[in-house]
Amino acid sequence: MDQQRYGVTPQSEKEGHGCFWWGCLTLIIVIVGAIVALFFGAKYALNKVVDTYTVTAPMDLPKMNLATADGERILANVKEFVDGVKRGETRAPLVLSGEELTAALIKQEPTLQDRVYLTVEDNKLRAQISFPLDSFGYEGRYINGWATFNGGLANDRLEVYLEDAEFNGKPLPEEILTRARNQNFGKDAYDKKENADFLKKLESIQLENGKVKITAKPSSAQT
């Protein structure tokens, strides 16, 4: 799926550790974009959909307590982890809170500022979003709400599934939820060889205790 369609420009070529962030953006932004695409591609009266689930103003997302320097530090830690894993080194697990992940993502991709806020609650990733729909031809309309996801990486397979979503204070139609829940959004992370190679070096990605924990395989087990 084209990230640029949703206002996200990949920076892998610029940063040199983009495979990790491309994966993060896939799990968060492209997932949300896919839900929006499913929603607007469904057989509903579009005018009714727009009136019901979108508004003319963005939603205020929670303010982060982290300073700019914290975002830079977190991003540097992520880069160190990713680069080490790519070199085949044994690394300690990378553990990030939802706010730390949000700060690092925004530092890496400034277009996400005021568009996404992540938390880990009850071992699920919760994304609060406020996205403009100009790219869908609805200039001046916003889709505001939240979505929760479960899943992780185990046995060399990344699985990410939508659990629930609500926009403009209203749940999505059951048809849309059913279609979205049956999709493993994590599979898109394997479309690019660089990303697939990196994911093969990971032992697990877990959502637990309010944090995202990314564990690399021991160097002897990496291929």
Amino acid type, 111: T
Q: Over the chain (223 residues), what is each successive 10-residue block's mean pLDDT?
A: 39 44 50 60 64 91 83 88 90 93 83 89 92 84 91 90 90 81 84 85 93 91 72
* pLDDT computed for residue 205 by the predictor: 93
Q: Give the chain's domain count.
A: 1
* Tens-digit pLDDT profile for residues 43-65: 555 677 788 888 999 999 998 88
Per-residue CA distances from 148 to 12, 20, 92, 123 (Å): 26, 21, 27, 10
* pLDDT computed for residue 16 by the predictor: 44
- Nearest partner of 66 among 57, 55, 75, judged by Cα: 75
1 forms beta bridges with: none
* Predicted TM-score (pTM) above 0.85: no
Question: What domain range is 61 assigned to?
Answer: 3-221
Q: At what angle do helices 18-25 and 193-200 cross, to 10 degrees?
A: 100
